[in-house]
Structure 1
C-alpha cells in the first residue's frame, strides 16, 4: 500500500470509484474493489466518504450539470441536444451507472434531481405557453427513451445507425415537442 496525504488518498479513491462505477455499475462495484484500485485499505474508503452509496453520488455527476447546453435558440434545440448526448461518452457512463443503481433510494433521488434540474426546469423556463411544463417533461421522456434504447437495451439497429441521421431524425422529434403547435 502506498502512503499518501489525506487529500491525495481521497482523490485516488474518487478516481478509482468513478472509473469502476462507470465500467461495472453500482451493484457490481464493491468497496474492496475501489480500495484495491486506489491501492489503499478498504476502511479508508468509508472514512473518507461514509458509505459506498455516498461515494457513488459524489462521483457520478453528469457533465451536462455544468454546461449551458440549453443556451441555444429554441428552434435549434432538438438537433443540438441529441448531437451533444450522442457525442459524450461521459454522459453515457454516468447515465448507465445511475440507472443501474437506481434501486437505491439516494441514487433514485439523484436521478430525479438531474432530470428536473438539468433538463425539465431549464427547458420549461425557455418555453412559452401554458403547456410549457408538459412539453418539457415530454421532451425529457423522449430523450430518456433514446438513451434507454441506445445504452441500456443496446438496440443493434439504432447503435449501428449513422449518428448524423439519428441527430436529424431524433432532433426533429424532440423539436416538435418543444415548439408550440
Structure 2
C-alpha cells in the first residue's frame, strides 16, 4: 500500500520551501513553484494569495527558535549561538532567502514583524527591567551580525575559527546585551 499523496497546498508549500532558499524570492517564480509541485500556476495563487504570502508563510523560523528561548536565561547566549552554528541547511537557507528578499518593498514590513515575533518578543518577555525591549533587540542584532558574517559575507577567518571559541566569545556578547544594566549607586 502506498503512502497518501500530499494535498495540492502541501505540495506547493514543499516546493516553495525547496526553491526559495536556493533561488531567493526574486529568483523563484510562481511558475517555478508550480512546476516543482506538479500543479497549475493558478493553484499557487488560489491557495496562497500571492508569491509574497507564500514566501512569508514558508520562510519562517519560529518553531525552531522558541525552544531555545525557553532554556535557562543565564545560558542563553552560548546555547543560542551553538544552535545557530550547528543548524542545518534549512535555517541557513531561510536566513539567506530572507536577507535577499529584504529588497522587496512588500516583504520588508512582514520581515520586521517576523523578526519581532520569532525572536525579539519571546526573549523580551523573559527579561526584567525597563530596558527589556532594547536588550532583546540588541541580542537579535548581535546574532544577526554573526550570521551575516558567516553566511552572507562568508568571512574566511571566522569560518576557519574553532566553533567552540566562537560559541564562547559570541555567546558572551549575547549574554552581555541581555543582562540588565548595572544600577548606578549614588
Bucket of the pairwise TM-score, normalised by the shorter protein: 0.7 to 0.9
Partner of 1:166: 166
* Structure 2 SS opposite 1:103: coil
Residue 66 of structure 1, CA deviation: 6.3
Superposition RMSD in Å: 2.0
Gaps of 5+ in 2: none
Deviations 1:38-90 (A, max 9, x none): 12222222222222111111211114466321112221110011111112222
Partner of 2:143: 143
Partner of 2:111: 111
Report if aligned partners of 1:63, 1:91 keep a CA contact under 8 Å in 2.
no
- Measure the CA separation in 2 of the matches of 1:58 and 1:170: 30
Partner of 2:46: 47
Partner of 2:56: 57
Q: Residues 8-157 of structure 1: matches in 2 within 5 Å? A: 8-64=7-63, 67-89=66-88, 90-157=90-157
- Measure the CA separation in 2 of the matches of 1:18 and 1:87: 20
- Measure the CA separation in 2 of the matches of 1:46 and 1:83: 38
Deviations 1:9-56 (A, max 9, x none): 221111111100011110011111112211222222222222211111
Gaps of 5+ in 1: none
- Measure the CA separation in 2 of the matches of 1:123 and 1:133: 9
Q: Structure 2 length normalisation: TM-score?
A: 0.85
Residue 92 of structure 1, CA deviation: 1.4
Report if aligned partners of 1:64, 1:91 keep a CA contact under 8 Å in 2.
no
- Measure the CA separation in 2 of the matches of 1:38 and 1:132: 44
